[in-house]
Chains A and B, each alone.
Chain A
Amino acid sequence: MKVLVPVKRVLDYNLKVKVKSDQSGVDLSNLKMAMNPFCEIAVEEAVRLKEKGVVTEIVAVSIGPEQAQETIRTALAMGADRGILVKVDGDVEPLAVAKILKGIVEAESPQLVILGKQAIDDDANQTGQMLAALLGWPQGTFAFKIDVASDKVTVTREVDGGLQTVALNLPAIVTTDLRLNEPRYASLPNIMKAKKKPIDVKAAADYGVDTAPRLKVLKVTEPPKRQGGVKVKTVAELVDKLKNEAGVL
């Protein structure tokens, strides 16, 4: 079985970004970039399926600038077999990503696409669902546990208040939640071996997709600073504040 794993290059999760002074976005210059943590979980799950003998080939895809190749190399070092880089400069919105992925799915015919549930940069949480809709495939989002057996994948999902289990016919789309697994660190020899694994370079036009943004960013601002709390002297004062200031009673 072939698995497709899209991976996104984002700001390293350890770092904090600053908003550009013109409020047009965030300033990423000179900051360390890394693979989106949810995508790492997706790669890990695919590699585990391969180690179990369920999966035979893992193709890692990234849509982004030239440097997204490093993100693909990380996936290859973790255990993916080959990569596809769709070179696009500038922001690519989830719908364009989903359309490009649809083109790749049609060319590659994987049985399973495992994606991160969202990327930590724009937190859109849309690509997997859009791809499922475009392909007409079943989707199991926010996966907590995945079991693949012959022509079915059983996905235990994290939903509000508990877990929900769905059985999907293959081919299918799965998006990963945080607790699905703990991604491995690539071993040092595998980092070196990954340099020899092939990466195809494509353009969005190869899949007939126009990546021009459909959304307009009006402005980006810092989240409001946290205000210090106040101490109340009596229960009566607390109830009064909850009623008249917070408006929650």
Chain B
Amino acid sequence: MADDAGRRTQTITFDSLRPPSPFFTDSHHAWRASLRKFVDREIAPHVDAWDEAGAVPREVFKIAADFGLIGVGYPEQYGGWTEGVDRFHGVITSEEMARPGAGGVSAALMVHGIGLPPILAIGTEEMKAAIAPAVLSGEKQISLAITEPSGGSDVANLQTRATRRGDHYVVDGAKMFITGGMTSHYCTVAVRTGGPGAGGVSLLLIELDRPGVTRTPLKKQGWWASDTAALYFDGVEVPVANLIGVENQGFAGVMLNFNGERLGMASGALASARACIEDAAAWAQERRTFGKRLADHQVIRHKIAMMVQRVRASTAWLDLCAWRVQNGETPVVDLSLLKVQATETLEFCAREASQILGGAAYMRGQRIERIYREVRVNAIGGGSEEIMRDLAARQLGV
């Protein structure tokens, strides 16, 4: 809702829905304010068009890089920057990028967040110098390929094989559901170089223009602005120098990513839930049915209260988890279950907000409809709810 001057008069907003965090400083508030302006000017007006077009235009990567979004958290020597950045800046970044309700845009722009870290963590100096600056300047993209047609979360049993032949590996196999796989220039690929099990897995940097690589686009329920591919490797020759880290020790490199990714996904999912509530509350306070506002029907206002209840509780836990990670802990049980909590909250809010909007929620071109289509990718990607619960249960010693 807006007054005559176009100012918001609504009381239930994206910002008001977030419980105040005791961990936020002036630096975090300034960060959020600038991101808000960036997203409102460069991203939000276009998300619907990009989603329908199935791609984020190339020049946006450069704009995002110049703004500092793509390089945040990466070493300065490769064009990134880390000064003064902590976990809460990361939480805020995920939240603000989720606000326009187009996770595909974020997935497209930030896909290097899963592809690049293994290279920086365990790759050679030459590899870092060759790849990282191009990626962090927004010029090139890098994706991560682990899941295969035969299995996803079961990383230890992957089938794609890299056979050593002289100073090359010859790669044969296939990778599935690869975010950014159609458009990325590089790919960090998990391959089997040794025997069965986790101990035979290596990470290999594969330039996706190498002969023998074919890619097939995959159509998805949501996240349309981000491309997803099946990658096929048929006798692809890759120099041995492309090995990331030590042969047969790639499994640890894969696992490095996951905890940070889960915190980011939880932040994004809870912010998407807030976007749903914001739109649903505005609608409920304006739309009139049976002679009164929707919000005046008890059944509707209870929906809003139930959504707020879940978002508040989950976000408070998110802040606490981020604080623990910030202080050097890796609280695996909490991070795993937080991700489940966040995506269940998102699922609930996308559903209830849709019910409040009714037919309007089913129409394309607005946040709730897009977010509804993104529930599953959040609940499955980056560790499905089932895998997360099982990991937590085992960590708990059940």
A185 and B41 contact, CB distance less than 8 A: yes
Contact mask B71-112 → A, CB, 8 Å, 1/0? 110000000010111000100000000000000000000000
Partner of A191, one of B4, B27, B66, B69: B27
Tell me the smallest distance from the CB of A164 to a CB of chain B, in Å: 28
Q: What would 26 A/B residue contacts be, using CB atoms closer than 8 Å?
A: A15-B8, A16-B3, A16-B9, A32-B15, A34-B33, A70-B26, A73-B26, A73-B30, A185-B38, A185-B67, A186-B34, A187-B67, A187-B68, A188-B31, A188-B68, A188-B89, A189-B68, A189-B81, A190-B68, A191-B31, A191-B34, A192-B27, A192-B85, A193-B83, A195-B84, A226-B4
Residues in chain B near residue A73, CB distance under 8 A:
26, 30
Chain B residues whose C-beta falls within 8 Å of the C-beta of A14 in the assembled complex: 7-8
Taking a contact as CB atoms under 8 Å apart, the answer to whether B26 and A188 are in contact is no
In the complex, B292 has a CB within 8 A of chain A: no
Q: Nearest Cβ distance between residue B71 and chain A, in whole angstroms?
A: 8
Q: Indicate whether B37 reaches chain A with its CB closer than 8 angstroms.
A: yes
Residues from 149 to 166 in A contacting B, C-beta threshold 8 Å: none
CA of A193 to CA of B30, assembled, Å: 12
Which residues of the other chain, A, contact B72 by a CB distance below 8 angstroms? 188
Q: Is there contact, CB below 8 Å, between A70 and B68? A: no
Contact with A along B17-43 (1 / 0, CB 8 A): 000000000110111011101100100
> What 1/0 flags go to A75-101 for Cβ under 8 Å of B?
001000000000000000000000000
Q: Per-residue 0/1 for B60-72: is the Cβ within 8 Å of any A Cβ (1 yes, 0 no)?
A: 0000001111011
Tell me, yes or no, whether A74 is within 8 Å of chain B by CB: yes
- The distance from the CB of A56 to the nearest CB of chain B, in whole angstroms, is 24
Within the complex, what minimum Cβ distance (angstroms) separates A17 from chain B? Answer: 9
Q: Is the CB of B9 within 8 A of A192?
A: no
Query: Distance in Å from the Cβ of B10 to the closest Cβ of chain A?
Result: 10
| A-B contacts besides A15-B7, A192-B84, 19 pairs, CB < 8 Å | A15-B8, A16-B3, A73-B30, A77-B34, A185-B34, A185-B38, A188-B31, A188-B67, A188-B68, A188-B81, A189-B71, A189-B81, A189-B83, A190-B68, A191-B27, A192-B27, A192-B81, A194-B30, A195-B84
What is the bound-complex CA distance between A192 and B25, given in angstroms? Answer: 12
- Which residues of chain A come closer than 8 Å to B38, judged between CB atoms? 185
The count of chain B contact residues (Cβ–Cβ below 8 Å) is: 28
In angstroms, Cα B212 to Cα A188, docked, is 40
Identify the A interface with B (CB < 8 A): 13-16, 32, 34, 70, 73-74, 77, 185-195, 226
Interface centre among A15, A32, A185, A193, by most chain B C-beta atoms within 10 angstroms, is A185
Give complex CA distance A189, B69 in Å.
9
Residues of chain A contacted by B83 (CB below 8 angstroms): 189, 192-193
Residues of chain A within 8 A (CB-CB) of B68 are 187-190
- Chain A residues lying within 8 Å of B3, measured Cβ to Cβ, are 16
Q: Is the CB of B66 within 8 A of A187?
A: yes
Min C-beta distance of A69 to chain B, whole Å: 8
With a cutoff of 8 Å between Cβ atoms, the chain B residues found around residue A190 in the complex are 68
Contact partners of B34 in chain A: CB under 8 A: 77, 185-188, 191
CA distance A241 to B71 in the complex (A): 65
Tell me, rounded to whole Å, the shortest Cβ–Cβ distance linking B219 to chain A.
Answer: 34
Separation of A185 and B43 alpha carbons in the complex (Å): 13
Instruction: Determine the residue in chain B with the shortest Cβ distance to A78.
Output: B34
Residue of B29, B67, B71 touching A70 (CB-CB under 8 A): B29
Please name all residues of chain A whose beta carbon is closer than 8 Å to the beta carbon of B89 when the two chains form the complex: 188
Residue of B nearest to A34 (CB): B33
- B-chain residues with CB within 8 Å of residue A186 when the two chains form the complex: 30, 34
Bound-state CA distance A193–B81 (Å) is 11
Bound CA span A13–B69, Å: 25
* Distance of B93 from chain A, by nearest CB (Å): 8
Set of chain B residues within 8 Å of A13, measured between Cβ atoms: 7
